[in-house]
Amino acid sequence: MHIKSATFVMSNSDVAKCPKDKLPEYAFIGRSNVGKSSLINMLTNRKSLAKTSGRPGKTQLINHFLINDNWFLVDLPGYGYARVSKSTKKVFQKFITEYFEKRRQLITAFVLVDIRHKPQSIDLEFMEYLGLNGIPFSIVFTKADKLKPKAIEKHIEDYKNILLETWQDMPNYFVTSSSKNIGKDELLGYIDHLNNTIEVEQ
């Protein structure tokens, strides 16, 4: 898939105010500072479509970007150790879960995970939440340029071993690096495939 246009549409914290279009949506979410904004900018060929920041918790709203006038990329707040008050964090969690449970246009989620670290309980818990609620998702391993190929294989194997203790199959996954453009074609190709499947079903 070639991205010809990527336009910011809206930010809000109320799922009921999200775009009324019936276009398919693909939501990107992960722990704070996992490299989500950089990944979105890489996928869309834009340097600052999504705001990047060294400070965790920069994204604090549901952000909709219209891609090629036929699907939405949704940038969701990071879960975890964002530097915000507990009351604010509760609001984040509430509208994140409301988005996943109420948004009918959502096709699948992409859960971003920093491949440099061993499996984190907060990521595993979030994947479990999605699984229990029947929400399709793929894992997107980020920052693959920081590790050698053997280390990447080992870290993915560690995830497989843990996930297969409770999951029947390893979830679909992608290995990416925003700085090296790794995984871009595979990820966009997957979204393109899902969009084409939706069109056939309709």
Phi, psi of 180, rounded to the nearest 5 degrees: -110, 5
Asked whether residue 56 carries a pLDDT value surpassing 90, the answer given is: no
Q: Which residues contact 182 (CB under 8 A, 6 or more apart)?
A: 144, 145, 175, 176
Give pTM, 2 decimals. Answer: 0.90
* Residue 61 near residue 92 (C-beta atoms within 8 A): no
Question: Where does the pLDDT of residue 60 fall: very low under 50, low under 70, confident under 90, or very high at 90 and above?
Answer: confident
Asked whether residue 92 carries a pLDDT value surpassing 70, the answer given is: no
Which domains, from first to last, does the chain contain? Answer: 6-201 (3.40.50.300)
* Residue 119 near residue 162 (C-beta atoms within 8 A): yes
Q: What is the mean pLDDT of residues 95-118?
A: 94
